[in-house]
Amino acid sequence: MDFTKQQREAASIRADISKANKIVLDARARYIKAKLKVRNKKQLEEMEVLFADLADYNSKEEIQDFYGWGGISRTELERLEALWDAREHHISESGNYRDRVVDMLDKALSRIGDDYLEFLDEADTTARENERNQRNRW
């Protein structure tokens, strides 16, 4: 195969791999977003019940201030702080979603273009050799 034609074909394959990656990543993101929406609606209802005692506080510092003013006991302070930390942890973890479909999409992403790796390696080697030959001419 002629050098220029090989390089054009390699560039086209790389562009197609990039396009396929974007499509799978978009599908993965849409799938996760839909799953999280359903899960988050259910979790929001659960969180309202689980963390109802924190409804009067906007920050952990407010809880500590209320304790400082004598509004709650030391035991209640510790309970509310632990509850606050649990809620923060729950919120930070709720954005993570994994299931078998996500795993399959991740596997597909990692394998996109595998059938073309040999050709692309050959095209890169040819390009390096061509560049080296061009430098040696001068």
Q: What is the DSSP letter of 16?
A: H
Which of the four pLDDT bands, split at 50, 70 and 90, describes residue 133?
Answer: confident
Which of the four pLDDT bands, split at 50, 70 and 90, describes residue 99?
Answer: confident
Range of the domain at 120: 3-137
Alpha-carbon gap, residue 96 to 70, rounded angstroms: 39
Structure-model confidence comparison of residues 88 and 108, the more confident one: 108
The 10s digit of each residue's pLDDT in 41-54 is 777 677 777 777 87
Q: Which two tokens stand for residue 54?
A: 């924190």
How many domains does the structure of the chain reveal? 1
pLDDT of 95 higher than 70: no
Which pLDDT belongs to residue 90?
A: 73
Helix axes 74-94, 3-50, angle to 10 degrees: 150
Q: What are phi and psi of 21, to 5 degrees?
A: -60, -45
Rg (CA), the chain: 28
Alpha-carbon gap, residue 96 to 129, rounded angstroms: 46
Which of the four pLDDT bands, split at 50, 70 and 90, describes residue 9?
Answer: very high
